A and B are shown apart, each in its own frame.
Chain A
Amino acid sequence: QSALTQPASVSGSPGQSITISCTGTRSDVGGFNYVSWYQKHPGKAPKLMIYDVSNRPSGVSNRFSGSKSGNTASLTISGLQAEDEGDYYCSSYTSSSPLYVFGTGTKVTVL
């Protein structure tokens, strides 16, 4: 099972909006509404930011939003803040092995 494809890096200035893409196949992203997004800061545990494509867990800022079109899911961060810097990973349920597949990861830089 191949990893989901994400851009290696995305950057933006404070206050701007950025979007991270996550491209898979009909067997994963395109076939199910089970896409999640995780934020990872060095030395810290990954944090769930979005689940089931567009749902935000309690406590996650509404500046984070998720969507999906076809085989590509997207995470949008609005009003970019310095604290948003870090690595972001998407994940999806897949009907093929191995049940869950993750993205290649995107490094977000706030300029």
Chain B
Amino acid sequence: QVQLQESGPGLVKPSQTLSLTCTVSGVSISSGGYYWSWIRHHPGKGLEWVGYIYYTGTTYYNPSLKSRVTISVDTSKNEFSLNVRSVTAADTALYYCARRKGYADFDYWGQGTLVTVPS
């Protein structure tokens, strides 16, 4: 069974870098065929797609975040990571990692991890 699990600090100071890791089990990231994504949910607001990575390292980011975001993959550990630089309170959100199966559907998600950036 495919499972995704986010991990990382729950509190990040303003101007610092938010770093999260998603550990994948039940499927090998290097098997290909899927895009591994980060999606965040701001408190009281909607969901926002952050970006995705393919096992080859090919990435695609939300243009509104592109200048501050890096997604990387470690196939040896079967995990992928998210870095968001120069964070502000606006980056406070529940961060999910998810697998994109088809053209635009995310079939497996982690439970999410709350990251708070104090104002």
Contacts and interface: CB of A to CB of B under 8 A. Distances in A.
Interface of A: 3, 32, 34-36, 38, 43-48, 51-52, 57, 89, 91-93, 97-105
A44 B49 CA distance: 19
Contacts of A38: 106
Nearest to B48: A102
A44 B48 contact: no
A99 B102 contact: no
Contact of B111 (A35, A45, A57): A45
Contacts of B106: 36, 38, 46, 48, 91
B62 interface: yes
B63 interface: yes
A15 B104 CA distance: 31
A92 B62 contact: no
A36 B102 CA distance: 11
Contacts of B110: 45
Residue among B46, B108, B109 with the highest chain A CB neighbour number at 10 A: B46
A36 B105 contact: yes
Contact of A98 (B62, B108, B111): B62
B112 A45 contact: yes
B60 interface: yes
Given A97-B63, A98-B62, 19 more contacts: A34-B103, A43-B111, A44-B111, A45-B110, A46-B109, A48-B108, A51-B107, A52-B103, A52-B105, A89-B46, A89-B47, A97-B64, A98-B63, A98-B64, A99-B49, A100-B104, A102-B39, A104-B46, A105-B46
A100 B103 CA distance: 10
